[in-house]
Amino acid sequence: MMLTETFFYEWLQAFGKAWSDLDIENFSQLFATDVEFYQSPFVAPTQGRAALTEVLTETFARQKEPSFGFEIISASDQTGWAHWTAFFTRDGIDDPVRMNGVLKAEFRDGACCSYRQWHHRLEPGQGDLMRDFDA
């Protein structure tokens, strides 16, 4: 199967909806059982859907009202690139978090088998940056 922009767009929509709904099961199902999921280029990948589900359980538990947006950069062969943004608040303390990044998703048989993201996170404590970001 050749990756099309339409397929990648729909996959990103499902990715964003599952994240926004904090739906671990639907989020996990977007990935192959043997996925390599890189949350950062400086950390070893999460290996496999079962491990990804464990990580998501911890990650989603700390988020409230997330939102996700994206713009496709390219989709060809088996690889899609997209610019993405996310916003959520930390559950319990209501600290806002903004993320801005780029992702690379590689597909096999309709499922993402390799996911890499590079991002910048803007959080409280970076007050001047948050004020400047809103300017």
pLDDT value, residue 123: 78
Structural domains of the chain, count:
1
On the question of pLDDT at 99 being above 90, the answer is yes
- Residue 118 CB-half CA count within 13 A: 6
pLDDT value, residue 53: 96
Is 98:120 a contact under the CB 8 Å cutoff? no
Output DSSP code: residue 126: -
- What residues make up the domain containing 34? 5-134
CATH of the domain at 102: 3.10.450.50
Is 31:49 a contact under the CB 8 Å cutoff? yes
pLDDT value, residue 102: 98
On the question of pLDDT at 131 being above 60, the answer is no
Biggest alpha carbon–alpha carbon distance for the chain: 47
Task: Please write the tens of the pLDDT for every residue from 16-73.
Answer: 999 999 999 999 999 999 999 999 888 999 999 999 999 999 999 999 999 999 999 9
Q: In the predicted model, what is the mean pLDDT of residues 94-112? A: 93
